[in-house]
């Protein structure tokens, strides 16, 4: 619980922060993410927990350092490949031969867990660890399918269907896993979010109970759902894949909604009111019926975007709980409002004209 005037992050014993769509998109930093996380380290440890298994923790830490997040070593990065390797080690013991599908992060995680990563079927693998990489080929998927169909223990690092990059959203590991499942007729064990493996590993690494974590992510059905399942508070940051329209269509409840990570260093925005009108700071949202809503007083991003994000969360969750058939339309309006603020063109959301 935050004390009055206290930064949001100050109430937590450690942060488990997602990467893709939260800290960076491909090679580019998400605006405000690096400076906000650097400052957050003065309050509590920050560990980066990612479903993306393509790279090694050392490579990820190098990118973070290159973006300006100083003092971040490989021990501050937890990948789903590491969680997958730990599971296989626990099931098979050291020395087991594992078909490594994915990038260097998969093979290194297996080797670090004292398993024997192989890239072909020649060594008759006992298991398959499948993660995403741009270099994964049809031949890799064919080998994985044959091994799995032959009885190999199959672990998928994650099943995210998409991956945000600087060029846009591309197919994620879930699409590759679906191909192997279709060919083999089997389903994998999954270790990435929303399963608990990554969050448990973060908590163990910093020596705190998992309940003391603050989970940060952009995806509702992985980052936030995983936190919900563990009873962990979550920050849903609106810089990646999901927006309010997706929140409206889901059954996930984030603890906090932020337009970007600057909100970690500020007191949580309080929302008051109930249908048909809510307020946060100097911003109000009023329902007009038939899915129409006005968002008034939002004209400056740095000041008002946190209020719009908090209002969007509160309004969409209230309408969702009430079974309002216009909830997705209202969610789209909040997405548009926040986008207009980011682009410096918020005028259409001021005044009293319905949107």
Delimit the domains of the chain by residue range: 8-51+194-264, 80-190, 269-349
In this structure, the strands spanning 168-171 and 162-165 are antiparallel
Residue 346 has pLDDT above 90, yes or no: no
Q: To the nearest 10°, the Cα dihedral for 12, 194, 188, 116?
A: -20
| Fold match between domain 8-51+194-264 and domain 80-190 | yes
pTM score, two decimals? 0.88
Average pLDDT score over residue span 302-311: 94
The DSSP code sequence of 110-142 is HHHTT-EEESSSTT--SEEEE---TT--HHHHH
Report the CATH architecture of 80-190.
3-Layer(aba) Sandwich (3.40)
pLDDT band at residue 353 using 50, 70 and 90 as cut-offs: very low
Give the active site residue among 20, 140, 218, 242: 20
Q: Is 143 labeled as catalytic in the residue annotation?
A: no
- Residue-wise pLDDT for 173-227, tens only, equals 999 999 999 999 999 999 999 998 889 889 988 999 999 999 999 999 999 999 9
- Residue-wise pLDDT for 310-342, tens only, equals 999 999 999 999 999 999 999 999 999 999 999
| 67: its two tokens | 């973006």
Q: To the nearest 10°, the Cα dihedral for 161, 45, 42, 305?
A: 20
Nearest in space to 64 (alpha carbons), one of 103, 107, 35, 105: 35
Residue 301 has pLDDT above 60, yes or no: yes
Rounded distance between C-alpha atoms, residue 267 and residue 147, angstroms: 52
Q: Is 160 labeled as catalytic in the residue annotation?
A: no
Q: To the nearest 10°, the Cα dihedral for 67, 68, 73, 75?
A: -70
Do 213 and 12 form a contact (C-beta atoms < 8 A)?
Answer: yes
Q: What is the pLDDT of residue 228?
A: 96
Rounded distance between C-alpha atoms, residue 59 and residue 174, angstroms: 23
- Total count of residues recorded for the chain: 355
Identify the CATH number of the domain defined by range 8-51+194-264.
3.40.50.1000
Give the active site residue among 18, 242, 260, 335: 18
Q: What is the pLDDT of residue 241?
A: 87
Residue 167 has pLDDT above 90, yes or no: no
């Amino acid at each position: 619980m935050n004390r009055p005037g206290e930064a949001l992050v100050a109430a937590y014993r450690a942060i488990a922060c997602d990467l893709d769509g939260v800290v960076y998109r491909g090679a580019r930093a998400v605006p405000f993410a690096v400076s906000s996380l650097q400052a957050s380290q003065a309050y509590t440890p920050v560990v980066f927990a990612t479903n993306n298994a393509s790279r090694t923790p050392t490579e990820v830490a190098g990118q973070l350092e290159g973006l300006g997040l100083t003092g971040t070593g490989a021990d501050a990065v937890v990948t789903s490949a590491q969680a997958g390797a730990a599971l296989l080690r626990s099931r098979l013991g050291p020395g087991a031969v594992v078909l490594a599908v994915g990038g260097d992060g998969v093979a290194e995680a297996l080797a670090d867990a004292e398993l024997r990563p192989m890239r072909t079927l020649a060594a008759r693998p006992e298991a398959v660890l499948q993660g995403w990489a741009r270099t994964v080929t049809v031949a890799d998927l064919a080998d994985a399918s044959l091994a799995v169909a032959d009885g190999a223990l199959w672990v998928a690092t994650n099943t995210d269907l998409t991956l945000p990059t600087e060029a846009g959203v591309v197919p994620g590991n879930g699409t590759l896993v679906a191909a192997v499942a279709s060919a083999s007729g089997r389903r994998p064990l999954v270790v990435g979010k929303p399963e608990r493996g990554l969050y448990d590993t973060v908590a163990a690494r910093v020596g705190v109970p998992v309940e003391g974590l603050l989970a940060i992510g952009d995806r509702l059905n992985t980052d936030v759902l995983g936190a919900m399942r563990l009873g962990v508070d979550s920050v849903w940051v609106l810089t990646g894949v999901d927006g309010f329209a997706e929140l409206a269509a889901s059954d996930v409840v984030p603890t906090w909604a932020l337009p970007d990570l600057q909100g970690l260093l500020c007191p949580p925005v309080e929302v008051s009111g109930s249908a048909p009108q809510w307020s946060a700071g100097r911003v109000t949202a009023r329902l007009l019926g038939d899915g129409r809503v006005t968002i008034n007083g939002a004209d400056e991003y740095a000041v008002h975007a946190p209020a719009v994000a908090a209002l969007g969360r509160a309004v969409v969750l209230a309408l969702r709980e009430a079974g309002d058939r216009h909830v997705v339309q209202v969610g789209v309006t909040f997405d548009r409002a926040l986008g207009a603020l980011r682009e410096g063109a918020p005028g259409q959301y001021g005044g009293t004209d319905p949107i």
